[in-house]
Amino acid sequence: MIVRILGQAPTDTELAMYSVMWSEHCSYKSSRVHLARLPTEAPHVLVGPGENAGVIDVGDGIAVAMRIESHNHPSYIEPYQGAATGVGGILRDIFTMGARPIALMDALFFGPPDDARSRYILDGVVRGVAGYGNAVGVPTVGGQITFDSTYRSNPLVNVFCLGVLPISRLVLSSASGVGNLAVLLGSATGRDGIGGVSVLASAGFAEADAAGQSTKRPSIQISDPYEEKRLIEACLELLEAGLVVGIQDLGGAGLSCATSETAAHARLGMDVDVSRVPRREPNMSPVEVMTSESQERMLAIVTPESLAAVQEVCDRWEVAATAIGVVTEPDAAGIGRLRILDGPGGEVVADVPASSLADDAPRYERPLAPPADLVERRADDPSRLPAPSDPGGDLLELLADPAPVYRQYDHQLFLNTVIGPGEGDATVLKLAAPGLPWEGKALAMSVDGNPGWCAVDPRAGTAATVAESTLNVSCAGAIPLALVNCLNLGNPEHPEVMWQLSEAIDGMAQACEALAIPVIGGNVSLYDESGGCDIDPTPVIAVVGLLGRIVRKPPVPGWHPGDSLVVLGPPPGGLAGSRWARSVAGCAGGVLAPVDLVSHRELCRFVRELVAREAEDDDPPRLVRGLHDVADGGLGVALAECARASRTGAEVDGIADHGGLFAELPARVLVATRLPDELSRLAAGAGLGARVIGVAGGARLVVHGLVDLGLDELDTASGGIAAALEVRPLV
């Protein structure tokens, strides 16, 4: 195929460039045909999938940019650097668009904490996120952490970033203007991360990797958050001053990607003198320079007249800036060519059509097939299991307080955090940033993924994940505006994995269409396998919503003594896919209860308006005193989390059995209210179910016939993550 494009055999440099650019990681060659089924359009979408980040218009001339990306394999090989460079990479995707990054969130998935290697990875990843995010000066405001044996040899580290910008500053990665200069900003180029996208991100792990004897460690990049901090400030200053015509970050596939994509977007060519690229090490070959994934680098397209001014800004921020190339006319056939020269007028080591690297990667229609034992798996429903003898004990097993993780992250910088990590169903931030004063609006965001649901049914499970994320931002009173996603899956050469991919995309498309949420960006992480064993499919969904006006903190999970507890929404559904079935009872089969998406949209609207109405009221809230969505762990975990958050117990009846306690249908909201009758009446008016299940008070969580636990027991049982990280209170 390459020979057909070039008309001759490729040089070493050309072959290396195609190798990285056509890797699964960069080209989405296995997933592209399926991704086309996702709804991506809405009037407020300014930039959809395909650019560095999705961008939406949030009114008043302000836009929000967002993206999520995986750094799974690097984090397994070298947890600290893998996670840290994941943070650095996603930040560059955001400020490349002209946006100031104001928030990071992570979805982290590890093996069980009783496994020593999983603890080591957990600790390293959390330190990496903290070490980079804190120092680079972008707060980590939320996320999710899941422990499950499917991630024992393949943890998942998905990093989400959100930035804000004046719409006038929005820039795309295009090398327009023949004669303009390609200026490399930031770090010198070293031998780290060579071929990372192909060696690491586009292949599974073998036995040696699983044993920690990895030969892949040299493909990991090394991070420098201080370099990135200066790069952010310099780039935003350059963009604000209008000194660059296009800009692109150097991530996967390094210079090969940045030069070819910027040229291809402008339908022009580019001559790059590889000898001008500043290097960390002597004797690097053009192949190494073009495929290195050294971090903290950007490629800016600059007019020759602006070069001196660009240099001045970069000098002040101590950021190296080197003109390494020039934008060229298309050739006689109208094709923009990317030429790599070794020295001025030197040997041409590569000469390829720029768009062939960026756009012409092969697209595979890989075979797909449901698992051979699908019928048996679906017949193995947890409803056939005997009732647990001690449902309270089972509930304790499902509790985990993530505070020891998020307390290592700066989650308050920029003074925007209204609801931070661990506080609510969604994170809520004021819509403001340095240079963009707060005008009264706020953003709500939630990142969610659930291997239990998606293992049982990737289609309904992904739809349920979208439903949960949407409900979370609705519980903060926000209107959901956009979604980005990261699909973490096994080896696409396995037909079962391609089936999971296809099903997950269909489920996401169904939910997004029903809930009217456009998908504005995504990332597909394939080859999440180890020793030939694929992980359970793990689509991670991030939904962002807008609150038009915020005057008081939205309600969070919790209650006050004397509050009535009401569950809004349909009956709980079955136990298939629940954490109780999967982790406690060891049953991974059954049929997942689907979320009714039509009534879910109504539930989201109802909850949003309820919260918004309370927020306008001057008096202490009576209708909604606290609320919590019911999802992972079911109503039992929701009750326990509310009890812990408010240091108050509750007395609950009307939950018939362990099914009612642990089923997870994410279409329900637990509300604490002083006005249960009015709440029920309003819900009935909206066609929604509402059931009073109990009253808050005392120091014990009592669910008649099932659970009777003291707050201290709930606290102790929630300490698993602290124990895994060996975080001890000081004495």
Please give the residue ranges that form the binding site for other proteins (CB under 8 A).
127, 130-131, 134-135, 137, 224-226, 229-230, 233, 317-318, 406-415, 417-418, 430, 434, 550, 552-553, 727-728, 730
Residues 638, 425 contacting (CB under 8 angstroms): no
Residue 71: active-site member? yes
Minimum CB separation of residue 605 from other proteins in Å reads: 24
The residue annotated as part of the active site, out of 34, 44, 71, 494, is: 71
Indicate the residue among 419 and 591 with the shorter CB distance to other proteins.
419
Minimum CB separation of residue 406 from other proteins in Å reads: 8
Indicate the residue among 36 and 723 with the shorter CB distance to other proteins.
723
CB atoms within 10 A of CB 42: 16
**Residue 323 has which token pair?**
């003109």
What letter does residue 306 receive in the DSSP assignment?
A: G
Minimum CB separation of residue 126 from other proteins in Å reads: 9
Residue 34: active-site member? no
Minimum CB separation of residue 136 from other proteins in Å reads: 8
Task: Give how far Cα 114 sits from Cα of 48, 122, 257, 482, 715, Å.
Answer: 42, 12, 41, 37, 19
DSSP state string for 540-593: EEEEEEEES--SSPPP-S---TT-EEEEESS----STT-HIIIIIS----S-PP
Residues 339, 244 contacting (CB under 8 angstroms): no
Indicate the residue among 552 and 647 with the shorter CB distance to other proteins.
552
Task: Give how far Cα 463 sits from Cα of 105, 244, 301, 540, 633, Å.
Answer: 21, 41, 41, 11, 18
Between CA 4 and CA 540 the distance in angstroms is: 38
Minimum CB separation of residue 418 from other proteins in Å reads: 5
Indicate the residue among 46 and 725 with the shorter CB distance to other proteins.
725
Q: Where would I find the beta strands (DSSP E) of 170-217?
A: 181-186
Minimum CB separation of residue 185 from other proteins in Å reads: 15
What letter does residue 196 receive in the DSSP assignment?
A: I
Q: Vertex 151, ends 251 and 71: CA angle to 5°?
A: 5
Residues 6+ apart with CB under 8 A from 347: 341
Indicate the residue among 190 and 225 with the shorter CB distance to other proteins.
225
Exposure of 56 in the CB half-sphere (CA atoms within 13 A): 24
Indicate the residue among 374 and 725 with the shorter CB distance to other proteins.
725
N- to C-terminal Cα separation, the chain: 67
The residue annotated as part of the active site, out of 25, 265, 600, 658, is: 25
Between CA 415 and CA 86 the distance in angstroms is: 24
Residues 6+ apart with CB under 8 A from 372: none
Between CA 247 and CA 300 the distance in angstroms is: 4
Between CA 390 and CA 284 the distance in angstroms is: 64
Residues 6+ apart with CB under 8 A from 163: 53, 64, 65, 66, 94, 95, 97, 99, 100, 101, 102, 103, 433
Indicate the residue among 317 and 364 with the shorter CB distance to other proteins.
317
Phi, psi of 588 (to 5 degrees): -105, 15
Between CA 684 and CA 35 the distance in angstroms is: 38
Between CA 574 and CA 592 the distance in angstroms is: 7
Residue 457 Ramachandran class (φ > 0 left, ψ -120 to 50 alpha, else beta): beta
Indicate the residue among 91 and 274 with the shorter CB distance to other proteins.
91
Minimum CB separation of residue 604 from other proteins in Å reads: 23
Between CA 418 and CA 554 the distance in angstroms is: 9
Indicate the residue among 146 and 417 with the shorter CB distance to other proteins.
417
Indicate the residue among 262 and 417 with the shorter CB distance to other proteins.
417
Minimum CB separation of residue 193 from other proteins in Å reads: 21
Task: Give how far Cα 640 sits from Cα of 262, 650, 651, Å.
Answer: 52, 9, 12
Cite the active site residues. Answer: 25, 71
